[in-house]
């Protein structure tokens, strides 16, 4: 059976797709949490990848709900697949379509695509598919797969890395921040940090393969927090005396020290959690990237407040100044939204001001689009697309000219 994965959105989705590929191709190798190896072991190489969607028997859409455009592309492509099947002479062949990622749990999406998609399944439940033959026979029942308990066990599925020299390693999933425009806390749930031991195991495997760069991933990597109950076990004792709290600076420092031949990057950070301790860890370790991605999202304090981003322009600029002092060769990239409801010309000028001051190496400039289920959705979309495009162009010029 041939499969094809279409991935939309951020690096987390790319990393999740690598795990889906690993799951489908090498199920016998995967460290499933509850002893499912025996069952999966019978199904070696049930699936092989294809680069041609037309050849695939199984098509997986790993979706993104952050922007309307990405969502529309999913609808369009699924619609085209089904249309093409109807037109085809070989009418008996209907591909199995699975939809996972950010849109999988949205009821309006499920209603809209119910006749076209065979299975809607959130990413952390994807790997609960116990019998892959059920996919082949198209006999999956979603009720059996959607236990509500959130988990990050799936991150331990051995991935098929797209690039063995530069690999994504997720260290956490979900988000607690509820920025007013963002679907992530609804789509991925609350923050869960991956156990240190699991992260180390994955990185050790990559080091053996001579991996040169690792990008640590999470919706908000710098709020990583894990309590390691085994870390301070004295020899021969059964119970830990004092569990060790490991936050992101400690994790990053120990990874950089343990794997000196690997360069580390991390994505993405929230300004409220970007600590001086983290800056010092970066400064101390030459194998941590000096390019820091720090999303500003808006320059105006009024808009930041409306976005539920708990910092001000001054706090952001002070952080940049402090980072430049502690890490003299630091450079910065950012994310910014133009046209958030209520963003006046005066507010936009504040974003411009930040761009002029910071000298960003790169900026991901997003035109606001209201997302169902988010707090900002009820504010509508009062700023025209033309005006958003104009603001985007103004900011873009500032990044490009540097
Ligand atoms: S920090 Fe805000 S923008 Fe980033 S994932 Fe969390 S809610 Fe979304």
pLDDT band at 138 (very low <50, low <70, confident <90, very high): low
Per DSSP, 230 falls in state S
pLDDT band at 227 (very low <50, low <70, confident <90, very high): confident
For the chain, what percent of residues have pLDDT higher than 90?
Answer: 66
Ligand 1 lined by 173 (C-beta under 6 Å): no
- pLDDT at 232 exceeding the cut of 70: no
pLDDT band at 66 (very low <50, low <70, confident <90, very high): confident
pLDDT digits (tens, 9 = 90+) for 233-271: 444 545 545 568 899 999 999 999 999 999 999 998 999
| Mean pLDDT, residues 16-22 | 93
Mutate to test the pocket of ligand 1, among 172, 220, 223, 271 (most ligand atoms within 8 A of CB): 220
Beta partners for residue 6, in sequence order:
61
- pLDDT at 299 exceeding the cut of 90: yes
Average model confidence (pLDDT) across the chain: 87
- pLDDT at 229 exceeding the cut of 90: no
CATH code for residues 2-144:
3.40.50.12160
Mutate to test the pocket of ligand 1, among 219, 298, 304 (most ligand atoms within 8 A of CB): 219
According to CATH, the superfamily of the domain at 161-400 is tm_1862 like domain (3.80.30.20)
For 8-76, give the DSSP string: -SSHHHHHHHHHHHHHHH-GGG---TTS-HHHHHTTTT--EE-S-GGG-SEEEEEE--SSHHHHHHHHH
Q: What's the pLDDT score for residue 30?
A: 42
- Where on the phi/psi map is residue 373: left (φ > 0), alpha (ψ -120 to 50), or beta? left
| Pairing assessment for the beta strands 192-193 and 172-173 based on DSSP bridges | antiparallel
Q: Residue 213, Cα to own-chain centre: how many angstroms?
A: 18
| Mean pLDDT, residues 156-184 | 93
Q: Counting atoms of ligand 1 from 1, which one is nearest the CA of 178?
A: 7
Q: Counting atoms of ligand 1 from 1, which one is nearest the CA of 185?
A: 7
User: 107 C-alpha vs ligand 1 centroid, how far in Å?
Assistant: 22
Q: What's the pLDDT score for residue 140?
A: 54
pTM of full prediction above 0.75: yes
CA distances from 269 to 81, 221, 381 (A): 37, 6, 27
Contact 118, 138 (CB under 8 A): yes
Q: What's the pLDDT score for residue 157?
A: 86
Q: What's the pLDDT score for residue 28?
A: 47
Q: Kindly list the domain boundaries of the chain, sorted by start residue.
A: 2-144, 161-400
Ligand 1 lined by 175 (C-beta under 6 Å): yes
- Tokens matching residue 246: 């490991």
- pLDDT at 369 exceeding the cut of 90: yes
- Tokens matching residue 139: 């006999």
- pLDDT at 150 exceeding the cut of 80: no
Q: What's the pLDDT score for residue 238?
A: 52
Domains 2-144 and 161-400 share a fold: no
Least confident of 223-232, 377-386, 389-398: 223-232
pLDDT band at 333 (very low <50, low <70, confident <90, very high): very high
pLDDT band at 133 (very low <50, low <70, confident <90, very high): low
- pLDDT at 325 exceeding the cut of 90: yes
Ligand 1 lined by 221 (C-beta under 6 Å): no
Ligand 1 lined by 184 (C-beta under 6 Å): yes
Q: What's the pLDDT score for residue 45?
A: 59
pLDDT band at 59 (very low <50, low <70, confident <90, very high): very high
Q: What's the pLDDT score for residue 287?
A: 97
Q: Counting atoms of ligand 1 from 1, which one is nearest the CA of 268?
A: 4
Burial class (CB in 10 A: 0-12, 13-18, 19+), 55: exposed
Q: What's the pLDDT score for residue 36?
A: 43
């Amino acid at each position: 059976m041939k499969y094809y994965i279409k991935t939309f959105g951020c690096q987390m989705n790319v990393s999740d797709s690598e795990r889906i590929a690993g799951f489908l191709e090498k199920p016998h190798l995967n460290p499933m949490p509850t002893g499912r190896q025996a069952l999966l072991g019978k199904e070696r190489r049930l699936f092989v990848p294809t680069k041609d969607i037309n050849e695939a028997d199984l098509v997986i859409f790993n979706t993104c709900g952050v922007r309307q455009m990405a969502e529309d592309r999913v609808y369009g492509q699924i619609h085209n697949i089904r249309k093409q099947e109807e037109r085809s002479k070989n009418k008996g062949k209907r591909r199995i379509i699975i939809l996972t990622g950010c849109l999988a749990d949205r009821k309006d999406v499920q209603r809209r695509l119910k006749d076209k998609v065979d299975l809607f399944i959130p990413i952390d439940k994807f790997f609960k598919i116990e019998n892959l033959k059920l996919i082949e026979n198209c006999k999956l029942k979603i009720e059996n797969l959607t236990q509500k308990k959130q988990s990050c066990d799936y991150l331990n599925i051995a991935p098929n890395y797209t690039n063995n020299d530069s690999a994504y390693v997720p260290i956490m999933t979900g988000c607690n921040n509820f920025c007013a425009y963002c679907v992530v806390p609804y789509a991925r749930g609350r923050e869960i940090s991956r156990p240190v031991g699991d992260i180390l195991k994955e990185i050790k495997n990559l080091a053996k393969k001579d991996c040169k760069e690792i990008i640590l991933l999470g919706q908000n990597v710098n709020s990583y927090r894990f309590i390691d109950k085994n870390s301070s076990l004295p020899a021969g004792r059964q119970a830990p005396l004092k569990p060790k709290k490991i936050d992101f600076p400690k994790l990053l420092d120990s990874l950089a020290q343990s794997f000196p031949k690997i360069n580390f990057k991390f994505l993405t950070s929230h300004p409220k959690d970007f600590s001086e301790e983290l800056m010092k860890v970066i400064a101390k370790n030459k194998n941590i990237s000096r390019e820091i991605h720090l999303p500003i999202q808006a320059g105006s304090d009024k808009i930041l407040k409306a976005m539920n981003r708990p910092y001000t322009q001054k706090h952001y600029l002070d952080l940049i100044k402090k980072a430049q002092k502690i890490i003299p060769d630091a450079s910065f990239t950012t994310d910014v939204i133009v046209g958030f409801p209520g963003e006046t010309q005066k507010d936009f000028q504040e974003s411009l001001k930040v761009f002029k001051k910071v000298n960003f190496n790169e900026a991901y400039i997003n035109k606001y689009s209201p997302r169902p289920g988010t707090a900002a959705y009820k504010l509508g979309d009062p700023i025209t697309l033309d005006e958003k495009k104009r603001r985007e162009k103004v900011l873009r010029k500032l990044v490009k000219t540097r």
